[in-house]
């Protein structure tokens, strides 16, 4: 599976947009990009998944350029409750999840 | 509501003892997984099972054992052979086939005293 690289931490103020970019240079044709959110002492929660271009749901947007070597998770107008660790994963159909250290996002008033 | 239930939430174990962590799901998912998480780190795969009565080792299986006698249940035993068992343990499940999303339980925090 393709190795992912994302920032260790990001700080933001309430109401701002947070963009987390993840690099996955060795992504394969059959791989999807998936993002999870984890709060302290809880299991990760699926946020969004995409293959190419843009995907949007009620929580976030995922931007994937044509070469698919990177992706950007966009969290619009964050609140204090968005403080969490965000994981970028490259997933193959039927494959296992391989987690990195993730990005710690801290939102302050 | 469908979901995954892990119990207990907190568990204390004396050195040299085996302990079993429970994981039950009512999502009718075929595949189940056990992960370990240490402070400030991502999750590491211990064992997984894609079907009843079958399971495979993950990246850090040494010192752990599992069973999958029922589709709904995937218990994890932390044996005395596990040298550093204190960690946060997470169980997950997924429907095989086209589904990519995993559902995670709320975890069990194991502390060796």
C-alpha distances in angstroms, A62 versus A6, A106, B59? 14, 20, 29
Written as six digits, the tokens of B81 are 């052979």
* pLDDT, tens digit (0-9, with 9 covering 90-100), for B14-31: 988 999 999 999 999 999
Please give the pLDDT value at position B60: 95
Please give the pLDDT value at position B59: 92
Interface mutation target, options B38, B42, B58, chain A, most CBs of A under 10 Å: B42
Chain B residues closer than 8 Å to A91 by CB? 100
Interface mutation target, options B44, B93, B102, B109, chain A, most CBs of A under 10 Å: B102
* pLDDT, tens digit (0-9, with 9 covering 90-100), for B78-113: 998 888 999 999 999 988 765 567 899 999 999 998
Please give the pLDDT value at position A30: 86
Please give the pLDDT value at position B113: 86
The string of DSSP letters for B37-68 reads: E-TTS-EEEEEEEEETTEEEE-TT-TTEEE--
Query: Chain A contact for B96, CB < 8 A?
Result: yes
Report d(CA B57, CA B63) in Å as an integer: 11
Which element (helix H / strand E) includes B11? strand B10-13
**Residues near B7 by beta carbon (within 8 Å), at least 6 away in sequence:** B21, B22, B108
Interface mutation target, options A8, A31, A44, chain B, most CBs of B under 10 Å: A44
Kindly give the confidence (pLDDT) of every residue in chain A, 109 residues in length, as a single tens digit, with 9 standing for 90 and above.
Answer: 678 999 999 999 999 999 999 999 999 998 999 999 999 999 999 999 999 989 999 999 999 999 999 999 999 999 999 999 999 999 887 677 888 889 999 999 9
DSSP B101: -
Is residue A61 classed as helix, strand or coil in its secondary structure? strand
Residue B111 in contact with residue B12, Cβ under 8 Å?
A: yes
Query: Which residue in A has a C-alpha nearest to residue B98's C-alpha?
Result: A93
C-alpha distances in angstroms, B36 versus B55, B90, B92? 17, 6, 11
Please give the pLDDT value at position B57: 96
Please give the pLDDT value at position B40: 84
* pLDDT, tens digit (0-9, with 9 covering 90-100), for B38-74: 988 889 999 999 999 999 999 999 999 999 999 999 9
Chain A residues closer than 8 Å to B43 by CB? 44, 97, 99
B107 → closest Cβ in A32, A41, A46: A41
């Amino acid at each position: 599976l393709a190795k992912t690289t994302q920032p260790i931490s990001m700080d933001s103020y309430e109401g701002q947009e947070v963009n987390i970019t993840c690099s996955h240079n060795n992504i394969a044709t059959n791989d999807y990009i998936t993002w999870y959110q984890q709060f302290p002492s809880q299991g990760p929660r699926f946020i969004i998944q995409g293959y190419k271009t843009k995907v949007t749901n009620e929580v976030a947007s995922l931007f994937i350029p044509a070469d698919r070597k990177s992706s950007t998770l966009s969290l619009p107008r964050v609140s204090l409750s968005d403080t969490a660790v965000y994981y970028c994963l490259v997933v193959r159909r039927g494959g296992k999840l391989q987690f990195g250290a993730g990005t710690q996002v801290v939102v302050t008033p | 509501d469908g979901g995954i239930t892990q119990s207990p939430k907190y568990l204390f174990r004396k050195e040299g003892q085996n302990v079993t962590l429970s994981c039950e799901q009512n999502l009718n998912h075929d595949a189940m997984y056990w992960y370990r998480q240490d402070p400030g780190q991502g999750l590491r795969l211990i064992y997984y099972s894609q079907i009843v009565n079958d399971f495979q080792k993950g990246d850090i299986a040494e010192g752990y054992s599992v069973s999958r006698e029922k589709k709904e249940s995937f218990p994890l035993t932390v044996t005395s052979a596990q040298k550093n068992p204190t960690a946060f343990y997470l169980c997950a499940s997924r429907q095989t086939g086209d589904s990519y999303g995993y559902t995670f339980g709320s975890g069990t925090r194991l502390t060796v005293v």
